[in-house]
Amino acid sequence: MMPTRVVLHEVGLRDGLQMEAQAVPTERKIGWVRALAEAGMDIIQVGSFVHPTKVPQMADTDQMFRVLSASDAKPAGVVFSGLVLNEKGLERGLACGVDMFCMGVSASETHSRKNTGMHIAEATERIIAMALEALKANKSVQVSVQSAFGCGYEGAVPPDRVLDIVRRYLDAGLKNISLADTAGHATPAMVEQLFGAVRTMESTVELTCHFHNTYGMAIANCYAALQVGVQSVESSVAGLGGCPFTKIAGGNVCTEDFVHMLQRMNFRTDVKLDRLLAVAQDVAAFFNRDMPGMLYKTGPIAF
């Protein structure tokens, strides 16, 4: 049940850069965002609204949104998303031009406390209230369940715990839902089962997947997600990324590698793969090291 169109949500500027100690100048980050928009990304996550002492790389998120959201500079058709963890972050995001708010709850108690300082129950209650507030402000909202397929600290996460959070979202009228494999523990079979269970709960749900490549299974898990009708995939240019609050951090599924796979399957041939490769190469040049992505080093297969 492949979707008729795969929505591409680029998260490298947030989930990728949050792991990097070397600060990227705001101007360079804005240049990467614009290049990714020109390449054909549908949604670009510009940053997260967190305290700069916790994630210094995100200190300029408000400024970036203001620059990128200016009417004379915003690329047509591109949605700029931002991650918020609490009410203060939502307030900041509403003030600087966020199009889509991303927010979520971890299905792991340990990861939840490390990431947000809250237990699952408290985080769920607060996130739902924040999501409804953002909707009232006429913003798009995506809610997620993090550590949905396992936790580096706790190991296996019971699927029922994930589905209980999903049910809370659905009961609140929130139908744009992401399942995130924060620790990289997912397998294709787990992906099919868990996303299939969510689809059974609500047939009109909009599903997004977010996989980390900690153990080398991210792109296989993306394919499995597409097979059960997941419509949107979050990925990171050059394969940057990793959650700093999980036990073992691994990069995200690589945007250009994933797009290359899609195009080999005759999906998303509108995306300018050469533009994505140019951004990945610039990212590698800036950090002066090899990135996890493969295609920017090998080049695409001619077809």
Q: Please list the active-site residues.
A: 243
**CA nearest 170: which of 204, 121, 130, 122?**
204
How many C-beta atoms lie closer than 10 Å to residue 35's C-beta? 17
**CA nearest 93: which of 142, 54, 53, 166?**
142
Q: What angle (nearest 5°) sits at the alpha carbon of residue 184, between those of residues 182 and 189?
A: 115
**The pair of three-digit structure tokens given for residue 100, joined into one six-digit string:** 């889509």
**The pair of three-digit structure tokens given for residue 96, joined into one six-digit string:** 């600087």
| Cα separation, 6 vs 177, whole angstroms | 15
| Cα separation, 208 vs 173, whole angstroms | 17
Alpha helices in the chain (DSSP H): 26-39, 61-68, 87-96, 109-116, 120-136, 159-171, 188-201, 218-227, 255-264, 273-287, 295-298
Residue written as tokens 């240049």? 31
**Do 154 and 113 touch, CB atoms closer than 8 A?**
no
Question: Kind and range of the H or E element at 186?
Answer: none
**Do 233 and 208 touch, CB atoms closer than 8 A?**
yes
> Which is it for strands 206-211 and 43-49: parallel, antiparallel or unpaired?
unpaired
| Cα separation, 195 vs 123, whole angstroms | 22
